[in-house]
Amino acid sequence: MRRREKVELIGAILDDLYPSPPIPLDHSDPYTLLVAVALSAQTTDKKVNQTTPALFAEADTPAAMVALGPERIHELIREIGLAPTKARNLWVAANQIVESGGEVKPDWEFLESLAGVGHKTASVVMAQAFGRPAFPVDTHIHRLARRWGLSDGRNVERTERDLKAAFPEDTWAQRHLQIIYFGREYCPALRHDFAGCPICSWAASKKQIAVERGGSGVGTRRVPTPPVSSVSSRRR
């Protein structure tokens, strides 16, 4: 199968499974999304969503976060991974935003200058809060892009570049969310059933299957490409 055909079929399956994927992190505006994404590093979205209501009840603006102080922020997010560092970063970033006018701005240089905000977090905010072209790459997306032969898995920067080249720009934000949900529901990191996966079953190479299984790849099988409608019915 040609690469373009593979990409189009992957897109069709994702659109059928997740036509309107919601943002998994609860938020009310660009700032609260920024905070939630920053907190989600090395922590599940579920844990973040359990933690942010209390935090946002006391501070849902940069000015309020500054007033809260790093110690109180830490108390409110203490169950989050790397809580001490994240509490300090949230407070410093809030100060930076206040000093820059008090609003989160759709500007790459501004976002990536904030404490605790890397390229992936900035990409999520740009794509999901401001509708700007961006393709955030998290661990799910990095893993699946390699499995599907859309990138070589060398690093997340390469994966982002390859996915941007593969998918039309106006689909990037949606594909980002769709692949995250697909990875969680169908394509786990460990003990993955390649033959039973709606995409890996036909898109993954024998070499990639062998690499993940730690074997030679001999005897691995490829199943026919599933009709998009059958994938949807299996999920329902």
In CATH terms, the fold of domain 3-20+136-235 is Endonuclease Iii, domain 2 (1.10.1670)
What are 116-132's pLDDT values in tens digits? 999 999 999 999 999 99
CA-CA-CA-CA torsion sign (138, 168, 127, 175): negative
Q: Decide if pLDDT at 161 tops 80.
A: yes
Banded pLDDT at 206 (limits 50, 70, 90):
confident
Q: Decide if pLDDT at 227 tops 80.
A: no
Angle, alpha carbons 129-28-116 (nearest 5°): 65
The answer to whether the beta carbons of residues 210 and 220 sit under 8 Å apart is yes
Q: Decide if pLDDT at 80 tops 50.
A: yes
Query: Could you confirm whether domain 30-129 is CATH 3.40.50.300?
Result: no
How would you class 43 by CB atoms within 10 Å of its CB: exposed for 0-12, middle for 13-18, buried for 19 or more?
A: middle
Q: Decide if pLDDT at 92 tops 80.
A: yes
**Separation of alpha carbons 166 and 149, rounded Å:** 11
How would you class 134 by CB atoms within 10 Å of its CB: exposed for 0-12, middle for 13-18, buried for 19 or more?
A: buried
Question: In a 3-state reduction of DSSP, which class is residue 195?
Answer: coil
Neighbours of 7 (CB within 10 A): 20
Measured between its terminal Cα atoms, the distance across the chain in Å is 28
Average pLDDT over all residues of the chain: 91
Q: pTM value?
A: 0.88
**Separation of alpha carbons 101 and 148, rounded Å:** 43
Q: Decide if pLDDT at 30 tops 80.
A: yes
Question: Tell me, what's the pLDDT at 117?
Answer: 97
Question: Tell me, what's the pLDDT at 154?
Answer: 87
Question: Tell me, what's the pLDDT at 139?
Answer: 87
Map out the domains of the chain as residue ranges. 3-20+136-235, 30-129
**What is the gyration radius of the CA atoms in the chain, in angstroms?**
20
Which range, of 135-144, 164-173, 197-206, 219-228, averages the lowest pLDDT? 219-228
**Separation of alpha carbons 87 and 26, rounded Å:** 18
